[in-house]
């Protein structure tokens, strides 16, 4: 028996200003990591080290410190084990994304 289904999810991104193309485009509305930063990324997992290339940028952009990074990593581990997030950097449902956003990143998302 064939089963058809689709998998989907949500990305939470921090838009980066575009500094090329003559600066005619200020931001690109895309979930692509080529243009914007994912606020759930490799640095968010407990197995990631503190020398991850995104960690300093996220700390600066979102005004968070090492204690928040530790809390994010714990939350991510539990959410991943519960099937609420998946790779790469995707929230399985909007409620999980909103929980993460409200808990960890209110400053950079306002």
- DSSP of 36-102: SEESSSGGGSTTS-TT-TTHHHHHHHHT--HHHHHHHHHHHHHHHHTTSEETTTEESSHHHHHHHHH
16-70 pLDDT, tens digit each: 888 776 766 688 888 888 888 888 888 888 888 777 777 887 787 777 888 888 8
2, 48, 93 from 8: Cα distances, Å: 20, 25, 8
Query: What pTM value is reported for the model?
Result: 0.77
> Does 94 have pLDDT greater than 90?
yes
Q: Which residues, in sequence order, are CB contacts of 47 under 8 Å at separation 6+?
A: none
């Amino acid at each position: 028996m064939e089963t058809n289904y689709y998998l989907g999810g949500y990305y939470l991104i921090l838009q980066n200003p575009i500094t090329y193309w003559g600066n005619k485009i200020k931001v690109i509305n895309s979930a692509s990591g080529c243009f914007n930063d994912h606020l759930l990324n490799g640095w968010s997992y407990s197995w990631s080290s503190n020398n991850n290339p995104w960690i300093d940028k996220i700390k600066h952009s979102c005004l968070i410190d090492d204690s928040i990074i530790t809390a994010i990593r714990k939350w991510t581990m539990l959410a991943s084990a519960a099937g609420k997030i998946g790779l790469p950097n995707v929230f399985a449902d909007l409620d999980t994304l909103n929980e993460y956003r409200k808990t960890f990143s209110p400053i950079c998302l306002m």
